[in-house]
Amino acid sequence: MIKPEKPLPEIIAETFPNEDSATVLEILNLYGTETYERDQEWVQRAILKLCHRSNVDELLNLVAAAKTDYRDVLYWLELESQRNDKA
C-alpha cells in the first residue's frame, strides 16, 4: 500500500521546529514563481527532504539552486536516497 504524503505545512513544522512556518513557506514559494519553474510542490518537498533541521541558509541555497535548474535538487535527493539505501 502506498503511504500518503504528509501535508507541506506538517513537513515544514517538523523540519523547522524553531522557525516561523509562514516564513519558511514564503522562502519555499520563491520557487515556482516563473513559468519555467515546474512541479512546485514536488520540488519544494525535495528541498525540505534535503534540508538539515532548521538550517535556513541551506533552505535558501536549495531554493536558489532549484530556481537555476530544479533537476539538480531532484538529482541530489536521489543520490542521498541511494546512499541511505546502501548504508
In whole angstroms, give the CA distance from residue 85 to residue 65.
25
Q: What is the pLDDT of residue 3?
A: 65
Q: How many Cβ atoms sit within 10 Å of the Cβ of residue 16?
A: 21
Predicted confidence at residue 87, as pLDDT, reads 66
Residue listed under C-alpha cell 504524503: 5
Q: How would you write the pLDDT of the chain (87 residues) with one tens digit per residue?
A: 566 789 999 999 999 999 999 999 999 999 999 999 999 999 999 999 999 778 999 999 999 999 999 999 999 999 988 888 876
Q: What type of residue is 21? A: S
pLDDT of residue 86: 77
